[in-house]
């Protein structure tokens, strides 16, 4: 194993994210990561975690670390990544915060499909909820809950002009142009 550098991609969307291609199955993601010689990846679906454990299972016996993760849309519509030391920690965190996702039904024809896929890339079903929605918890509240479960919060694509901590929260220090 290379000890000098670690190659990672910690922001990957599987077929469970409405924005992602349906070919983004656990095994396709893992095989592509292996081809790219990555050491570590995270599947960070929007407000959902169902494809994380299948990916961890499918990556067993492979020289690839899957960091349990998620990308949450906060109440302010900022995207917040979260990484956890174990799947159990992610699952406990998700169990708590998913109840704050509004009960609206997805329209796959408009927003895209949300496919749940097992470790053998078999289709299990679709998440019926509108995962594009914002979890009704504030950015700060979510950060503290992530830390409570020993997770690491990371603001997603911070310099983007939409759905970022800067664009939605206007944190001091933002460069205006
Ligand atoms: Zn994302």
Contact by Cβ (8 Å): 73, 133: yes
Q: Measure 43 CA to ligand 1 centroid, in angstroms.
A: 9
What domains, with CATH codes, occur in the chain?
Answer: 8-169 (3.20.20.140)
Contact by Cβ (8 Å): 11, 156: yes
Helix or strand (DSSP H, E) at 31: helix 26-35
Q: Measure 22 CA to ligand 1 centroid, in angstroms.
A: 15
Buried b (16+ CB within 10 A) or exposed e, 70-85: bbbbbbbebbbbbbbe
Q: Measure 134 CA to ligand 1 centroid, in angstroms.
A: 14
Q: Measure 11 CA to ligand 1 centroid, in angstroms.
A: 6
Q: State residue 164's pLDDT score.
A: 87
Q: State residue 87's pLDDT score.
A: 98
Q: State residue 1's pLDDT score.
A: 55
Q: How many CA atoms does the CB half-sphere of 140 hold within 13 Å?
A: 2
Sort residue 27 into left (φ over 0), alpha (ψ -120 to 50) or beta. alpha
Q: Measure 5 CA to ligand 1 centroid, in angstroms.
A: 24
Q: State residue 177's pLDDT score.
A: 47
Q: State residue 24's pLDDT score.
A: 98
Q: Measure 175 CA to ligand 1 centroid, in angstroms.
A: 23
Q: Measure 176 CA to ligand 1 centroid, in angstroms.
A: 24
Q: Measure 57 CA to ligand 1 centroid, in angstroms.
A: 22
Pairing outcome for strands 115-117 and 79-83: unpaired
Q: Measure 44 CA to ligand 1 centroid, in angstroms.
A: 7
Q: What tens-digit pLDDT sequence spans the chain (177 residues)? A: 556 899 999 999 999 999 999 999 999 999 999 999 999 999 999 999 999 999 999 999 999 999 999 999 999 999 999 999 999 999 999 999 999 999 999 999 999 999 999 999 999 999 999 999 999 999 999 999 999 999 999 999 887 888 888 788 876 555 554
Q: Measure 45 CA to ligand 1 centroid, in angstroms.
A: 7
Q: Measure 61 CA to ligand 1 centroid, in angstroms.
A: 27
Cα 5 from chain centroid (whole Å): 24
Q: Measure 2 CA to ligand 1 centroid, in angstroms.
A: 28
Share in percent of the chain as helix, strand, coil (round to 5): 30, 20, 50
Which token pair is 91? 């699952």
Q: Measure 17 CA to ligand 1 centroid, in angstroms.
A: 9
Sheet holding 40-43, edge to edge: 8-12, 40-43, 65-73, 79-83, 152-155
């Amino acid at each position: 194993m290379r000890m000098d550098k670690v190659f990672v991609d910690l922001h990957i969307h599987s077929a469970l994210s409405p924005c992602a291609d349906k070919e983004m199955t656990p095994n396709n993601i893992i095989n592509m990561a292996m081809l790219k010689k990555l050491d570590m990846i995270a599947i960070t679906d929007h407000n959902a975690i169902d494809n994380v454990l299948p990916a961890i299972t499918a990556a067993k016996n492979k020289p690839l670390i899957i960091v349990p993760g998620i990308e949450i849309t906060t109440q302010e519509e900022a995207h917040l990544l979260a990484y956890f030391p174990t799947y159990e920690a992610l699952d406990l965190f998700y169990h708590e915060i998913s109840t704050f996702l509004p009960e609206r039904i997805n329209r796959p024809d408009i927003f895209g499909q949300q496919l749940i896929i097992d470790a053998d890339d078999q289709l299990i079903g679709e998440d019926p909820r509108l995962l594009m929605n914002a979890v009704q918890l504030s950015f700060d509240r979510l950060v503290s809950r992530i830390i409570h479960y020993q997770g690491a919060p990371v603001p997603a694509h911070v310099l983007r002009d939409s759905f970022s901590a800067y664009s939605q929260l206007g944190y001091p220090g933002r460069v205006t142009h």
